[in-house]
Amino acid sequence: MTEQNITTASDRDAASQLVKSWVALWNGDLDIADAIISESNRVHAAMFDGGDGSAVGGASGMKDFVAQMRSLMSDLVFSIDVGPLVDGDHVVVRWVATGHYGGGLPGAGAPVGAEVTFHGTDILRLSDGKVVEYWLNADTLDLMTQLQVGAG
């Protein structure tokens, strides 16, 4: 039998608090990034520009990443669907985001003001109470379909 990583109640409480701050960051509280994102944070994500997320570094990079997403839908609201699920130093949440398209995405045919809802899963690796690694798996196909990218 292999040794299992047992997560304590205090670990779960700390992770839940961090997830609340994480959601607040994605809901537009960019200043909270300095408190919850490590300067050595690594991002793993399929980016709109075709990148893999490795260019998003530290708290300032996360602020820019969140601001870029929110520039498409300034009223974007994220909420947790499932989780947080805690396993050692990893925290997983399934989220849903809803907002109204504000325009500005090249190739999008959706009218400004169109309501958009999409889902994703975030995996966060924590160290010393901060996010040091972030994997994003969002349903970008659903988002782009709703925004009518390439349609027409």
Band of pLDDT at residue 3, cut at 50, 70 and 90: very low
Classify each residue of 67-84 as buried b or exposed e, where b means 16 or more C-beta atoms within 10 Å of its C-beta: eebbebbeebebebeebb
Q: Mean of the pLDDT values across residues 83-109?
A: 94
Domains of the chain, start order: 9-146 (3.10.450.50)
Residue 25: the pLDDT is: 98
pLDDT tens-digit map of 115-134? 999 999 999 999 999 999 99
Enclosing H/E stretch for 85? strand 77-87
pLDDT tens-digit map of 11-63? 788 888 999 999 999 999 999 999 999 999 999 988 767 777 777 889 999 99
Q: CA 9, 14, 15, 19: dihedral to nearest 10 degrees?
A: 140
Band of pLDDT at residue 152, cut at 50, 70 and 90: low
pLDDT tens-digit map of 57-81? 899 999 999 998 899 898 999 999 9
Report residue 29 as tokens: 């509280």
Share of the chain above pLDDT 90, in %: 71
CA neighbor of 77 nearest in space, from 107, 43, 116: 116
